[in-house]
Amino acid sequence: LAIHAVHAQSNESTAEAKKMQWWKDAKFGMFIHWGVYSALAGTYEGKKIPGIGEWIMNTAKIPIDKYKPYAKQFNPVKYNPEAWVKMAKNAGVKYIVITSKHHDGFALFDSKVTDWDVVDASPYGKDLLKPLVAACRKEGIRIGFYYSQAQDWNHPGGAAINGHWDPAQDGDMDTYLDNIAVPQVREILSNYGNIDILWWDTPKDMTKARAEKFMPILKQHPNLITNNRLGGKFQGDTETPEQFVPSTGFPGRNWETCMTMNDTWGYKSYDSNWKSSKTLIRNLTEIVSKGGNFLLNVGPTAEGEIPKASITRLAAMGKWLHVNKEAIYGTTASPFPYLSYGRCTRKGQKLYLHVFDYPANDLLGVPMANKIRKAYLLADPSKPLLVTINKANQHSVIHLPKKIPDTINTVVAVEFEGDLKIIPSP
Ligand code: H79
């Protein structure tokens, strides 16, 4: 019954629902932005360039012949994909999406259609995707490739969007798509076994005819999950709010918020505006309570190291998830439109109350008419919490411990009987 209800809500066909199930249960992914821009690290010719680091070529209007030599400084000798994947797994991450090629056109894989890739242009000289895919498979982590199809500032015809700044970028966009983007997408979908996600970016200037160039390849991968950024009105499987938590989610659509931990996707040596672990844990909770996934970014250095600040935050998320995983993975959205103290997630006859603002009197009101069989902290499941009824509004009242168990997010599990009956607020 519950499964049918989910299908009906989201207007999905059975095949689509089946394809999306692992993704819906996964909730938490790690984005990796990595490329030649990581070597510039936010600075060009001694000047700190404002904005997101992976855009530095565009923002600083760096000509191609000045940008390309930086590939010699992209030499990730410290790259340890097994360690990255284990770190992500310990953080509670279920899938990883890496920039196979960002807007600067630099491929992290061995592409046969260009020399502008890690094998031909960087001293490292080896495909970076292959060992990451292997490590993910070994650890049971799903793998996705980000691919910038509509912007490629280092191949002629690929810089149509947002103008171009170097005559060497002149060219026809369709020729670029036919000669670079389409064959490269075929490469990344063919050379690494089954890939779980293809993350397009961005739809601008992608007419229907241009987007359709990719269709023959996509049709060969029916289980591939794609986002809504191909363009040409192709909706893909997922909505992609960027850098924000949507107020209500996207009813009837799968969705995923992608977000940075500081103010850049690609590594910038001097960006230290890190979000706190508390903010990140609460973002994950809030997104999941609205039915979405959280794709949280790391930007490794050109040497191949994930910044310490990112590792610390991921570890804190993993620590919290270790205790509270049951309230995140495989859950559905909150049935309550609003809870003054926090958020809610659900799994069948169980609600998980995520307490952000601990009630001053330690009493947690639950606006539902159902009998509660059992309530307890996920951190201490063997100790049942007292449940009473508020005579005035018939809400159930859970008696919490006086001392706040977790100031970031204390999760209370509530097992209830019968069909959920919410008491609307007056
Ligand atoms: O890959 C990450 C970003 O690089 C990419 N999407 C995420 C996942 C992205 N593409 N476009 N944008 C984000 C937003 C673009 C903002 C812009 Fe600008 C405003 C482009 C030009 C003006 C910011 C400010 C970047 C350059 C100046």
The last residue of a domain, from among 281, 297, 327: 327
pLDDT of residue 8: 44
pLDDT at 162: 67
What's the 52 CA to ligand 1 centre distance in angstroms?
7
351 part of a folded domain: yes
Task: Confirm or reject: Cβ of 241 under 6 Å from ligand 1.
Answer: no
- State if residue 131 touches ligand 1 by the CB under 6 angstroms criterion: no
Has residue 107 been placed in a domain? yes
What's the domain range around 402? 342-416
pLDDT averages per 10-residue partition of the chain, 426 residues: 44 86 98 99 98 98 98 98 98 99 98 98 98 98 98 94 88 97 98 98 94 98 98 96 97 97 99 98 98 99 98 98 98 96 98 97 97 98 98 97 98 98 91
Query: SS3 for the chain, per residue?
Result: CHHHHHHHHHCCCHHHHHHHHHHHHHCEEEEECCCCHHHHCCEECCEECCCCHHHHHHHCCCCHHHHHHHHHHCCCCCCCHHHHHHHHHHCCCCEEEEEEECCCCCECCCCCCCCCEHHHHCCCCCCCHHHHHHHHHHHCCEEEEEECCCCCCCCCCCCCCCCCCCHHHCCCHHHHHHHHHHHHHHHHHHECECCCEEEECCCCCCCHHHHHCCHHHHHCCCCCEEECCCECCECCCEECCECCCCCCCCCCCEEEEEECCCCCCCCCCCCCCCCCHHHHHHHHHHHHHCCCEEEEEECCCCCCCCCHHHHHHHHHHHHHHHHHHHHCCCCECCCCCCCCCEEEEEECCEEEEEECCCCCCCEEEECECCCEEEEEECCEEEEECCEEECCCCCCEEEECCCCCCCCCCEEEEEEECCCCCECCCC
- The number of distinct structural domains making up the chain is 2
Name the residue with tokens 């969705």. Answer: 255
In a domain, 422, yes or no: no
> Do residues 354 and 308 share a domain?
no
Q: Are residues 139 and 257 in the same domain?
A: yes
- pLDDT for the residue numbered 4: 42
Which tens digits make up the pLDDT trace of 220-249?
Answer: 999 999 999 999 999 999 999 999 999 999
Q: How far is the CA of 56 from the centre of ligand 1 (A)?
A: 10
Residue 334 belongs to some domain of the structure: no
Query: Between the CA of residue 266 and those of 95, 189, 299, 372, what are the distances in Å?
Result: 19, 24, 5, 48
Q: Specify whether 16 is located in the same domain as 122.
A: yes
202 lines ligand 1 (CB under 6 A): yes
pLDDT of residue 5: 42
Domain boundary among 301, 327, 353: 327
Residue 46 belongs to a domain with what CATH number? 3.20.20.80
CATH code of the domain in which 353 resides:
2.60.40.1180
The Å distance, Cα 365 to ligand 1 centre, comes to 43
pLDDT at 163: 78
Which residue from 30, 37, 55 has its CB within 8 A of the most atoms of ligand 1, so it is best to mutate?
55
Angle CA 266–42–45, to nearest 5: 145
- Cβ(128)–Cβ(303) below 8 Å: no
Per-residue pLDDT tens digits for 281-312: 999 999 999 999 999 999 999 999 999 999 99
Structure confidence at residue 11 (pLDDT): 61
ipTM for the predicted complex:
0.96
